[in-house]
Structure formats: structure tokens, C-alpha cells
Amino acid sequence: MFDVHNFYDDYGIDYYEGDYHHQHCREGWTQTECPRCSGNPGLHLGFSESSGQFVCWRCGFMPIIEAIRLFLGVSWPEAKRIAKKYGGEKVYHKYERAPKEKNIKVMLPTSTLDSFPKRHRQYLEERNFDPDKLIDLWDLKATGKKGVCKYKNRILAPYYYRNTLMSYQTRALKNIEPRYMACSMDNERRHHKYCLYGIDMCLGKSVLVVEGITDVWRMGIGAVSTSGIKYTETQVLLLAKHFENVFVLYDETEQAAQDQAKKLSQTLSTMGKYSEHITLGIDHDPAELSDKDAKYLMRELLIK
């Protein structure tokens, strides 16, 4: 990995580490003034300890050789030689390859009902959701008691990608374990962890990433779920492919969730995307926000 501290020290470039009290300093990053942002002094250029890459919070991803060239005013060949001296040879990260999409039709559980029963509606209403709005917008289904089926008495959320049903996730009506139960792997056209729930509804270049399906229901169009905090590289690639601005909002009551949110945001930043890990200072997950607060947040983040 490029030894940015020795590089800065050798060439007299001022820098600040993550514990320095400044709005652009974050844990795991080393900040300095960006040589590409003329007329806008500030500690915008960060070097990520985890990825070994430069990212400017204003102008985006910056290759190591380009950063050296701009800092020192040298030629590309000379910048390349200096990069090699400090361990900055280009390293290509090989992302995991998602299994090939299967050419099958995803079958819904045998207990899937033709209508939405009262008890399913009551569950949504108790969580301050509008059942009719969610059923229509997200094509929600309900499962009942009858039949030999493990998906009984649940709300079913289909996962679509390119207008094709890929998988589904179910939520129990009560807090029984498992609360969430996904489609079996042999019935998935594309594994749900290689999908982003809600992506087909995102029409712009900005997106809000949340943990679960209920968070998407609350935040509305423009939000996608990674189906838990342990996202996959395939989901990262989907975000990078479809969006330019990515905001990550995970449950603030769990430190593990916050760690993953920061990691996801930093990874997308090193891929040249504007990505920000956001917190709201709340003691519950986004699904518990009021509709008014959720709409306000989405408008502030996504309408640029």
C-alpha cells in the first residue's frame, strides 16, 4: 500500500489524521488540501487506510499517480516512479463474481393468499404504515395458515430487478423467530443478497441505502435495502453502476451496523462515487421514523 505519511513528510506536505478536530477528518483517513480543487482550500483530499486510495470529498476519486503529479508538478513517468518508491503500484481488486442468474420462474409460497387479511393490515398499521399504500407501491403479498409451508402468517416482499422477480423476503406478523425468512436458494432466480430491494423504483442518480425492507417502506422511493448490514461486493457493484451519490443510513443503536455503514461508504468513495455515511441521532432504526420526517430526509438527500 502507498505510504502516504512518508510521502507527505518527505515532500513537506501538511496533513491531518482522523483524530484531528475538523469536519473533513474521519477515522481511518488522512486529510490534506486537494491540489485539484483550485480556489477552494480545505482538507478535502482524503487517503483511505483501508483501500489505499485518494478520494476528494468535493471532486471525487483521484488515482495515486495523478495525486503525486498534481502535488509535485512532475511528469507522469516521474510520478509513476515516485509512486513505486512509496509502494503505490497499481493493485487491482478482484471483486467476487455473483452466480449466474438462473433462468427460472420464482414460485411464491403455497400459503400465499389472493387478498391481504385484516391481521396483516393491523400489523402494518401498528407500525404506522399505510397498508394500501405499501401493498400497491411495493407489490406486497400475504401468506396464511393453510398448507404445508414454512412461510405461514407472514408479509411477503418481492425483490425485482429489471422488472423481473428475482427473490423475496418475508416478515413474521409477530416477533417470533426467525422474524425474517427469505426465499429458498433453489427457488431464487438471483440470490437476494445479490439484489438491492427497491432498486427498480430508483429513477435518479442518488440513493439512500438502508438495512431492511421495512426501512425501505418507511423511506419510500429512492431507498434500497442490502438485506442486513453484511452487504456483498455484488451489491456494492450494483450501487456503483446505477448511482453517483450514495447515502448510507443503518441502525444507529448497533455499533456493528455503524461500522459496516462507514465501510460501505468508504468503499464507494474509492470507486469514484460521492458517498456519505449519515446519522440522525435517533435511538431506533429508520423504519420507526414518522412519514413526515422520512419524506423530509429523502427530499434533502436526493433532490439536488
What single letter denotes the amino acid at residue 292? K
Q: Kindly give the confidence (pLDDT) of every residue in the chain, 304 residues in length, as a single tens digit, with 9 standing for 90 and above.
A: 889 999 999 999 999 886 554 555 667 788 898 888 766 667 888 888 777 888 877 676 788 898 999 999 999 899 999 999 988 765 555 666 677 899 999 999 999 999 999 999 999 999 999 999 999 999 999 999 876 678 989 999 999 999 999 999 999 998 778 899 999 999 999 999 999 999 999 989 999 999 999 999 999 999 999 999 999 989 999 999 999 999 999 998 888 999 899 889 988 887 878 899 999 888 778 999 999 999 999 999 987 5
Q: What DSSP letter does each residue of 81-113 carry, written as one string? A: HHHHHTT-------PPPPPPPP--PPPPPTTB-
- The CA distances from residue 109 to 140, 141, 183, 212, 261, in Å, are 13, 10, 9, 21, 33
CATH number of 118-194: 3.90.980.10
Topology adopted by domain 4-85? DNA Primase; Chain A (3.90.580)
CATH of 199-302, one of 3.40.50.970, 1.10.8.10, 3.40.50.10790, 3.40.1360.10: 3.40.1360.10
Domain ranges in the chain with CATH number 3.40.1360.10: 199-302
The predicted model scores a pTM of 0.75
